[in-house]
Amino acid sequence: MTQTVVALVGISGVGKSTVLRAIAETLVFQHLQASALINDARNALEAGAVGHDDLRQVDIGDNQALLVEGFRAARDVAKGTVILDGHTVIDTPNGLVRIEPSVFGALGIQKFVLVVDDPDAIHRRRAADTTRKRPVQSAAELDKHQNEALLAAYAAARLLGIPLHVFPISDLAGILSVIRNDRD
């Protein structure tokens, strides 16, 4: 069986988790969430877990090394499809930081699926989500973040020689089609 490793990326609050829940109804895959992998690797090193939303406060380079380690440990090679739920940019206290393409290369990512949405909708979704401690951003700032996420995904895909697919969050059929390898 050939394994497909997909990076499903987008800014925080765009709806990646919602997409993954929806496609799980018709596709069997291993879902690996970047923040959980980082925290699992931190715990294994006895460095101590950091809250999901507080990872942006910790050295991004260290986190990405832990992500690669955690991904390698958690990846089930028997699964046909592995989806990494993550980001191409991280909103840190010092501004946006791009995830280096080499990180995605080390993870064996074969294609990017970037999900986008209207910045006003993302803003409303983030404001309504009281379970998370995201930085407060205006819709205009989220639009800039989403554009930077697109540029970072494009740069990584180009450097790695892999496809980048960009979908509005509402196009579940298109997202599913790319993940299932119906189209590249």
Mean pLDDT in residue range 21-45: 87
pLDDT digits (tens, 9 = 90+) for 141-170: 999 999 999 999 999 999 999 999 999 999
pTM over 0.85: yes
pLDDT at 134: 73
Alpha-carbon torsion, ordered 32, 33, 36, 39, to 10 deg: 90
Asked whether residue 50 carries a pLDDT value surpassing 70, the answer given is: no
Single-letter amino acid, residue 165: H
Asked whether residue 57 carries a pLDDT value surpassing 60, the answer given is: no
β-pairing, 95-98 with 89-92?
A: antiparallel
Asked whether residue 54 carries a pLDDT value surpassing 50, the answer given is: no
What's the CATH superfamily of 4-28+81-179? P-loop containing nucleotide triphosphate hydrolases (3.40.50.300)
pLDDT digits (tens, 9 = 90+) for 113-141: 999 999 999 999 988 877 777 778 899 99
Q: Percent of the chain at pLDDT above 70?
A: 89
Q: What is the CA radius of gyration of the chain?
A: 16
Mean pLDDT in residue range 59-63: 74
- pLDDT classification of 92: cutoffs 50, 70, 90: confident
Nearest-angstrom CA–CA distance, 121 and 75: 33
